[in-house]
Amino acid sequence: MKAEEIIKKLSATKKNKIAKLTVREVEQQTDGSYIAFVDDAAESFDVSLLLKENQITKHTCDCTAPEEFCIHKTTLLLNLTEAHTGNVSSKPSRARKVPKQSQAQQILQTLSLPQVSNWLQNYFNKNKEAEMLFLLDFSPKTVTFQVDEIENIVQKAFVAVMIKRKKIELNELKKIILYLEQSLQPVFQYMQSLIAQQTAYFILEAINKSINAMYSKYRVPGTRLQKYQEQIIDKYTLMLNNLQDTVLWQTQTDFLLQTCFELDFGKRLVVAVIGDAYKNGNTEQKTYLSSHVSDYFIQLESKHLKLPREAEEVLLQIVIEGGDLKKCHTYFSMHPYENNFNVMLLQALKDIDPDRALQYCNRAVKQNTKAEYNIPYLKIMEYIMEMNNMPQKQLAQVRRDLFAIDPYYER
């Protein structure tokens, strides 16, 4: 079916309904399809569309609507094509009739508060999800939070959906994430008020640690929960980088760097926070981070200490982009079979220390088990030999090896 035809056939009534829906977390998959959550009143539906040249070749939605292309699929389609500009109906709205009360509503008005309270208590004992929704709507809004309270908040979001089961389905995972977003919202507001203090990071750490604990307790499908954790880190670093007082920002950044390099160096969360703070930072903030990260690498080298490779990779990107690798390049060495890290290092090192870069390239070529893995190393060697007027025989040998793997006429 064609996307244009679906959009053209939309009635004003359906457009009005679509205007009340919300599309969240749109993601493009490897096969070119799109998935997203579409919120419809109190419910949320998992929707996917596969678009190829204005043709919708595949579509799914976990609602139970009888029509083939439901309103949730249409909402996502309009969101993707940017054809939906709001409520296009120009007709004046009619006064709505007050609906008649249902039998349950009529009975509810005749019951006393203790009767309703007792019934709800029994119902909540059997339905933890309903209890979670009740708490989100009616529990008092806490102004402050203790770090040890975070675990209970996160755990409730999972227990409300899973009860005693261990395997999470995709439709259940989106409910869990929705509950996490709602229940952690006041926590983020509290974190914002403390962003110039170390406590803000400890709250972030508690959230991340509590969610990580759920991976060992439940079988979690897909990557949506990891992406939600990345969004949490992003929220924290945006708050941090929005501090108007440069001194306060530097104080908190220094604390993060000390946590990374001195207290528990290589800890994944703080490394990810530093990397994200750099990504979201302005020019001045990036310069400060790059300079100080390189200084810490110099200190580590003097103490003969090394970070884990995963931490080195994040922080190496910072000092390369910030132009500070020259200060600390002697700290870095290659990691066997870690081609992404090695090539990134050598691409930057070839102009700083060509002899060492050439030595590392030769080592990588000997270690690699597949010839095609050698292409980036041989190209770096070719560049170094050309730029440094090295013997033509050596250059010819490199080009011969390159030609055998990746032949073209100039070689």
Per residue in 135-168, pLDDT (tens digit) is 656 665 556 788 888 999 999 999 888 888 899 9
What pLDDT is attached to residue 410? 75
> What amino acid is encoded at 189 in this protein?
Q
Q: Residue 174: which of 77, 70, 62 has the closest Cα?
A: 62
What pLDDT is attached to residue 73? 87
Under the banding of pLDDT at 50, 70 and 90, the label for residue 65 is confident
- Are 62 and 45 contacting, i.e. CB atoms less than 8 angstroms apart? yes
Indicate if the pLDDT at residue 96 is higher than 60.
no
Could you give the percent of the chain with pLDDT greater than 70?
A: 89
Residue 327 tokens read as 């200060």
Domain boundaries, the chain: 3-81, 124-234, 243-331, 333-411
Under the banding of pLDDT at 50, 70 and 90, the label for residue 59 is confident
* Stretch among 53-62, 134-143, 178-187, 391-400 having the lowest mean pLDDT: 134-143
Indicate if the pLDDT at residue 281 is higher than 90.
yes
User: What residues are paired with 2 via a beta bridge?
Assistant: 55
If one counts every other C-beta atom within 10 angstroms of the C-beta of residue 305, the result is 12
CA angle 320, 325, 328 (to 5 degrees): 145
Q: Residue 4: which of 64, 47, 55 has the closest Cα?
A: 55
Rounded to whole angstroms, the Cα distance separating 358 from 350 reads 8
Indicate if the pLDDT at residue 307 is higher than 70.
yes
What pLDDT is attached to residue 138? 64
Q: Provide the 3-class DSSP secondary structure of residue 221.
A: coil
